[in-house]
Amino acid sequence: MLISNPYSEDFKVRNHSHFASIVRVFLEDGDLLEDENIFLKDLSEFLNINNEEYEHILKHYHTYPPYPVYTFNSRFERLYDLASMVYSEPYEEKRQDFLMRRLAKALGFRDENLVYIIGKTKSLLALEVNAEEFIDEMNNMYI
């Protein structure tokens, strides 16, 4: 069985593009908020983006091609990763929910479903489910 290298150039480009997409969402209404900046620093470490790359992406985020997530499973997988980071940080709950609304919207979830999706996400993370269980539960959620 051939296993692809998770640190291949394509993998790195995709991570940079995902990161740039989140930067784009955070900057759509002006400057980065303090919590957004902290989250981006943590996310850059998680994605193995060094300081030089981080600064470049912040300045040139619009030059990175988007890698859209089309399937619900892909959206839920990404939501799980991002939510795990947001809710593990020492932000006040209001700030966590604010960040999650922005991130969930950027992943393509509809405005009218955000309250339910974020609520379910929080309850599943409180139960410490793994990614597979999270995706399964989210797919079986009734909105």
% of the chain surpassing 70 pLDDT: 93
Check residues 103 and 68 and name the one with the higher pLDDT. 103
For the stretch 5-23, pLDDT in tens is: 445 677 788 789 889 988 9
Task: Give the pLDDT of residue 9.
Answer: 72
Under DSSP, is residue 8 helix (H, G, I), strand (E, B) or coil?
coil
- Alpha-carbon distance of 113 to 75, in angstroms, equals 14
For the stretch 105-143, pLDDT in tens is: 888 899 999 999 999 999 999 999 999 999 999 999 865
Gyration radius from the chain CA atoms: 15
Task: Give the pLDDT of residue 106.
Answer: 84
pTM as predicted? 0.75
